[in-house]
Structures are given as structure tokens and as C-alpha cells.
Amino acid sequence: MKRSKHQWSVANHGQRTTNNGQHRANAEFQNGFTLLEVTLALAILAGAVATLGELVRSGLANAQTARDLTRAEMLCEGIEEQVVAGAIAPSSASSVPCDDDPRWLYSISSESDQTGLLTLQITVTKDVPAGQHPVQFSLWRWMIDPGVAPESNDNSQSTSSSSSGTTSGSSTGGQ
């Protein structure tokens, strides 16, 4: 049994054969994407890339703020220790560059609320324009007012020096 050209083309995956023997694809069996599908896929991809880019930018900005806050805290604690040790006076100071990092400024304010007790506030701020949202960190500490009780410090120092003199005398006598 011999097939005709028309029967052969229907059996051959829905392709029709023209009179001159060329195959033409049927509309219902087309493979590939339409222009609308490609445009829609590109729009979704562009939106996802833009969203991910914004998330990365936000994450980097937050990481920089965290680094700045950590640095400010470390500088603030260092200045506090210098004030407690007596290297820096606990009197009020404003916008003084830090010795460790001149990009940071510190301010000291102190109040004597009770007799012999000093409330010390140290604030460290990054020296950038206000439009860049400078990082600021403050630290409060109560300490004995060095101006009120100097005689108690003198008594404890003389006691420790006399005991150290005794200790050194006994150590040299024992040899």
C-alpha cells in the first residue's frame, strides 16, 4: 500500500508538505519562545538582580556601621581609662581629636551629683559631614572625684610606699 504525500506529512509529526516537497511547521507544534515570553523573563531577571544588588549594598553599609561602632567603643574605653588613670583631666572637653585615630573626635563632660562622686560621660564621634550620618558612641562612668578626696589618696600612697620600703628592706636583709 502506497501512501500519498498528504498522508505522509500528517504521519510525520504534523508537518505539511507543499507541492514542491518542502516541509512547513504546523502552528500548534512550534518549538521555542515568543518575544513576549523572552521580554517577561528578562524583566523578572532584571528585577531580581536589582533587588539583590540593593540587599548587598545595604549589607555593606550595615557592616561599615558595625565596624565604626566597634571602633568608637574601643576608643571611648581607652579615653575612659586615661581619665581614670589621670592622664586626661575629667574636666569638660569638646571635639578633641583622638590620639589613636584623628578621624574620631571625643568630648568629656562631668557632673558632681553627690559629694565625692563624679559622673563622667565620654562621647566619641566620627569626624564626617552630617549628611553622611556620623557614628556616635557614649559611655558613662561613676568615679571618685579627684578634686574632692586628694588627702585620702595621699594617705593610701604613703601607706603603700612605707610597706614597700619595709618589704625591700627585709628582702635585702635576707640575702
User: Is residue 79 domain-resident?
Assistant: yes
Beta carbons within 8 Å of 107's beta carbon, 6+ residues apart = 92, 93, 94, 95, 96, 122, 123, 125
Whether 108 contacts 79, CB under 8 Å = yes
Average pLDDT score over residue span 60-68: 94
Average pLDDT score over residue span 48-73: 95
Higher pLDDT, 111 or 169: 111
Whether 98 contacts 82, CB under 8 Å = no
Highest mean pLDDT of the ranges 48-52, 109-113, 144-148: 48-52
* pLDDT attached to residue 169: 32
Beta carbons within 8 Å of 9's beta carbon, 6+ residues apart = 15, 16, 17, 23
Q: Is pTM beyond 0.85 here?
A: no
Per the structure, the complete domain to which residue 104 belongs is given by 34-149
User: Is residue 84 domain-resident?
Assistant: yes
Strands, E assignment, 47-90: none
User: Is residue 122 domain-resident?
Assistant: yes
> In 3D, which of 78, 70, 81 has the Cα closest to residue 135?
70
User: Is residue 74 domain-resident?
Assistant: yes
Higher pLDDT, 171 or 81: 81
Q: How many domains does the chain have?
A: 1
* pLDDT attached to residue 92: 79
Average pLDDT score over residue span 126-147: 86
For residue 1, pLDDT over 70 is answered with: no
